[in-house]
Amino acid sequence: MSRGLTSQAARNIFYGGTVFFILLFAVLIFNTEQRIPARSNAAEITPAVVRGKHLWETRNCIGCHTLLGEGAYFAPELGNVYPRRGGDFIKAWMKAQPTGAPGRRQMPQFHLNDQQLDDLVEFLKWTSKVDTEKWPPNIQG
């Protein structure tokens, strides 16, 4: 009859399990690193996209909106706003703020010029092409 697990056997299981999971973790990291270039859409980053991201950051859009699931949940997700609405709608919406509609939260007017609006639209267009594996699950964000 077995007397149970010896300390030597327990040590071997611990070390073997540790090595196994370290190797598994390394394989998962390697696999992820190999997939990032294809998923990130980095090849299509243009100067306009960079300027648009700068506007996104300096105007603190993430303080109200989410982008690819990151940010505040006060206002809609904008990771898929470009395919849903298009660039012309985004520009018109930004110019029309605040709408003054009763009962709605108001977005501030940032007084962006046409070049800045084009850059912001290019950033949102680029963002919509990042492979997020179907995030957000709801097309409306």
| DSSP state at residue 64 | T
For residue 123, the model assigns a pLDDT of 97
Q: Are 72 and 66 in contact (CB under 8 A)?
A: yes
The residue extents of the domains of the chain are 1-40, 44-141
Q: For residue 122, is pLDDT > 70?
A: yes
pLDDT in tens, 27-60: 999 999 998 888 888 889 999 999 999 999 999 9
For residue 9, the model assigns a pLDDT of 92
Could you tell me which CATH number the domain at 44-141 has?
1.10.760.10
pLDDT in tens, 82-120: 999 999 999 999 999 988 888 778 889 999 999 999 999
| DSSP state at residue 70 | E
pLDDT band at 1 (very low <50, low <70, confident <90, very high): very low
Q: For residue 21, is pLDDT > 70?
A: yes
pLDDT band at 2 (very low <50, low <70, confident <90, very high): low
For residue 42, the model assigns a pLDDT of 87
Buried/exposed 9-29: b ≥16 CB within 10 Å, e otherwise: eeeeeeeeeeeeeeeeeeeee
| DSSP state at residue 109 | P
Q: For residue 20, is pLDDT > 90?
A: yes
Q: What is the amino acid identity at position 135?
A: W
